Structure 1
Amino acid sequence: MPQLSVIISTYNQPEWLEKVLIGYQQQSFKDFEIIIADDGSSKETEMVVTDFVSHSDLKIKHCWQADHGFQKTKILNKATVASTSDYLLFTDGDCIPRNDFVENHFNLRQPKRFLSGGYFKLPKNISESIAEENIVSQDCFKSDWLLSHGLKKTFKLNKLTSKGFKERFLNNVTPTKATWDGMNASGWKTDIVAVNGFDERMAYGGEDRELGERLMNSGIKPIQIRYSAICLHLFHERSYKNEPAIAKNKAIRKETKTQKRKWTDFGINKR
């Protein structure tokens, strides 16, 4: 049994997923499995996964469901059940992990806590410029490389350059709240199952954070690791974004908060 399971959500982004899986080949911590939580992608994604299964040392399971619109929460629950370790790291198929990404999640885990990371968002031109050799060399995580490819210099570059004391200091002083964000969050499987996983009524818009809110209602506190667990978020359009779904999600989250709900009847186990 691996010490950690990485659950990667994806939908019809095979080129981005390939870069992400190359990132997981570079990890300093090796004792993990990958569950691809595939919300109905076409054969191109299956071909990428099959190729990595055949030609890499990565332990990968492809958890797929038919395409019936945005059902990320449903496939994440299936992937959670399919995982075999007691600690789960959730991320997206458009987020390339730095080579210490899994190691930092593993080393920083604590009982009755979940870890809240962030991401470094890239524009379209730089996302497309990243090649396999840039991931293997880790150049794409270096500020000089990114600036030379047209990235504007901002304070956010500290996410990539902070180490040691500075990293811990920025984690502690950042005004950004520690929440469960699906591209970079981890927690104990028993804690996630205890709140019944993700609420499958929810479409795009805060569907990940609602799980975190139930965890917090259950006494599972978040730890901010925004400057410790680093991934590059590749550019993509959000065609599945729609206002009625966002409004519905907000209503569910409001109920979770005001009623301090620890459980959803629309999760892993259906009542």
Structure 2
Amino acid sequence: MQTPTISIIISTYNSVEWLKKVLWGYNQQTFLDFEIVIADDGSKEDTRIAIDILKNEVKYPITHVWHEDNGFQKSQILNKAIIACKTPYIIMSDGDCIPRKDFVEVHNTNKEQGYFLSGGYFMLPMNISNLISKKDIENQNCFDIKWLIKNGLKKSFKNNKLTAKGWEQKVLNFITPTKATWNGHNASGWKKDILAINGFDERMQYGGQDRELGERLFNLGIKSKQIRYSAVVIHLDHPRGYANKESWERNRNIRKETKTLKTTKTNFGIKKIER
């Protein structure tokens, strides 16, 4: 089997029904020359069973990278997943973000040496998240604004993320006040650049570890491109039991140090570096 040209890292933790919806979404892609690497932060057996079943149903190869549950260790499992990627280019997203059928194609078309790509997500309420079926993903109902509004979505400027086409996407990408940061739910870059900064800082728990990786890429001289209105994922709702004040405070201090010292390589990443 020929090695694909793009790797997609999907992070997950004990959210098997959402993960299945996400993997069905990747099965609808217009660009299919990719592998999926699942970064599993210690999910139970039902996730492994579901992945093994899906491996035989989808059009792309899946690698399941898992470690034992030891609290929120997403940075650590993402670093293991980065190593497992077989291609030069990596897209990162989450196991609660269903990609629109052109998602991978948009990342592939816009990739460029010396840059990373910054996308966003379209947040759905819990009732619609639960409602979305495999068939709704296959026929792309869940990206149809009329279908979403019929099922309870409120009208908002943010709905432009789903309705913008062609030149509208480019204009909105250009005028958005949102900075083109590395967003763990929708970003992509070259594996060699991610390795050059030593991946994620494993001291960081929930809250900004993706942004900090992007800040070290900036310090390395890598620029970013905004594609939040072009590369579309819908975000399924879920509780956030892992967020806490202490981790946010610690992560803020690490990010402040990264910016102040213009750090490019963390000592606490893929390779552990003695000071």
Band of TM-score, shorter chain: over 0.9
Letter in 2 for 1:30: L
Instruction: Supply the AA of the counterpart residue of 2:207.
Output: G
Matching of residues 91-110 of structure 1 within 5 Å:
91-110=93-112
- Separation in 2, partners of 1:131, 1:207: 32
- Give the SS at the match of 2:247: helix
Root-mean-square deviation over aligned CA pairs: 0.5
Q: 1:216 corresponds to which residue?
A: 218
User: Any unmatched runs of 5+ in structure 1?
Assistant: none
Which residue in the other structure is 1:28 paired with? 30
Partner residue, 1:254: 256
**What's 1:148 paired with?**
150
Letter in 2 for 1:75: I
Once the 2 structures are TM-superposed, how far is the Cα of residue 224 of structure 1 from its aligned partner? 0.4
Moved more, 51-60 or 142-151: 51-60
Q: How does 1:147-226 map to 2 (within 5 A)?
A: 147-226=149-228
C-alpha distance in structure 1 between counterparts of 2:57 and 2:22, whole Å? 15
Question: What secondary structure sits across from 1:186 in the alignment?
Answer: strand
4+ runs deviating over 3 angstroms: none
Distance of 1:48 and 1:13 partners within structure 2: 11
- 1:58 is displaced (CA, Å) by 2.0
Any conservation in 2 of the 1:52–1:58 contact (CA below 8 Å)? no
Match for residue 56 of structure 1? 58
Match of 1:227 among 229, 245, 262: 229
Q: Distance in 1 between matches of 2:32 and 2:206?
A: 32
* 1:107-163 deviation per Cα after TM superposition (whole angstroms, max 9, x unaligned): 100110000000000000000000011000001101000000000000001000111
Q: Partner of 1:38 in structure 2?
A: 40
Displacement of 1:32 after TM fit?
Answer: 0.1
Q: Distance in 2 between matches of 1:204 and 1:264?
A: 17
Match of 2:135 in 1: 133
- Which of 243, 254, 258 is matched with 1:241 structurally? 243
Q: In structure 2, what is the Cα distance between the partners aligned to 1:260 and 1:125? A: 44
Deviation (angstroms), 1:196? 0.3
Match of 1:85 in 2: 87
**Aligned equivalents of 1:55 and 1:141: distance in 2?**
23
Q: Secondary structure at the match of 1:251?
A: helix
- TM-score, normalised by the number of residues in structure 1: 0.99
1:5 aligned onto 2:7: yes
What CA deviation, in whole Å up to 9, does each residue of 1:252-271 have, x standing for no partner?
00000011100100000111
Cα distance in 2, alignment partners of residues 236 and 44 from structure 1? 18
Contact 2:92 2:184 in 1 (8 A): yes
- Partner of 1:55, secondary structure, is coil
CA distance in 1, matches of 2:57, 2:173: 37
SS of residue matched to 1:178: coil
Show the counterpart of 2:271.
Answer: 269
Aligned amino acid, residue 251 of structure 1: N
Native 8 Å contact 1:87 1:189 kept in 2: yes
- Using the alignment, how far apart are the partners of 2:234 and 2:47 within structure 1? 20
Match of 2:11, SS state, is: strand
Is the Cα contact below 8 Å between 2:193 and 2:217 reproduced in 1?
Answer: yes
- Report the secondary structure of 1:85's partner residue: coil
Cα deviation digits, residues 83-113 of structure 1 (max 9, x gap):
0000000000000000000010011001100
1:47 Cα deviation after fit: 1.2
Once the two structures are TM-superposed, the CA of residue 54 in structure 1 deviates from its matched residue by 1.9
Unmatched 5+ stretches in structure 2: none
| Mapped contact 2:143–2:162 kept (Cα < 8 A) | yes
CA distance in 2, matches of 1:167, 1:80: 30
Identify which range, 72-81 or 54-63, moves more after superposition.
Answer: 54-63
Contact conserved, 2:22 with 2:96, CA < 8 A, in 1?
A: yes
Which position in structure 2 is the counterpart of 1:75?
77
